[in-house]
Amino acid sequence: MKAAILKGVAVLGMAALALGSIATSASAESLLEKADKGEPIRIGFANEIPFAYPADDGSPKGFVNVFTIAVLKKMGYENIEPVQTEWGGLIPGLNANRFDIVTGGMNILASRCENIAFSEPVATVGDGFIVAPGNPKGIGDYESVAKGGAVMVTGAGYSNIEAAKAAGVAESNIMQVPGPTEILAAVKSGRADAGAGTYFTMKQLADASSGAVEATDPNAMPESSFNWAGIGFRKADQDFLDKFNAAMKEYIGSDDMLEAVAEYGYGKGSLPGDKTSEWVCANR
């Protein structure tokens, strides 16, 4: 009887190993292989207006989503599935295979380049602030935040955290919240003196606040605070990324592309210029 039980356990063990092998094989399948089989390409993004955000029906909106979907279609891929998450979950979610591409409008930074691969830049992105009407603390750049001992609020995982610390802003004066809605709420309530994010996003918050806050002048920011946004991929999917970059090169800056993203405030001045992702990874 014991021998029969042991034999049964052995058979079950062999079956489990076989199933595990099948699962491992499936999970090891590359994005290019899955896409070429017609499986959905899952794009991950947070609620970051105007970069990437969900419409009321859950469909992907924002200029990075529109741009990415257009490039994927040029590559012959139209089975695209949106996945919304919080900003701080984008890189972990990508590497955990919860989605295949990050379209959130993420700045290319050396610290992020260690964990994921980026497309060539899709936009030049300057930082900006929202402040109380009249800008009572005279905030124009990160140094003014530091010198004035002001409290700055920004999103968890945002590049503004590194920029503020580099300018001397004390960590205790940097409030981290989930995203733009909470940044606006913190400044409106007086819990923070300035909200920091990309100028794209801060201007949109100010314009929609009915005068409760105002956006500071982006020209007051130093050149070193400018960043370049890219689209994120798993490092294991370099073959797909190479194909994406080739298709993107033909599309970026075209009349069709600029017309498609115009409603989100993206114009010719937002184009990334001649900067490459390699350069940005090394210099930001």
pLDDT range class, residue 143, cuts 50, 70, 90:
very high
- pTM equals 0.75
Q: What domains can be seen in the chain, in order of their start residue?
A: 31-124+228-283 (3.40.190.10), 127-225 (3.40.190.10)
Cis check for the bond before 50: say yes or no (omega within 30 of 0): yes
Beta bridge partners of 61: 53
Higher-confidence residue of 116 and 5: namely 116
Cβ of 16: how many Cβ atoms within 10 Å? 10
At a CB cut-off of 8 Å and minimum separation 6, what does 35 contact?
Answer: 41, 77, 240
With the CA atoms of 108, 112, 117 and 121 taken in that order, what torsion angle do they form, in degrees rounded to the nearest 10? 0
| Cβ-contact 101, 68 below 8 angstroms | yes
- 43-94 pLDDT per residue, tens: 999 998 899 999 999 899 999 999 999 999 999 999 999 999 999 999 999 9
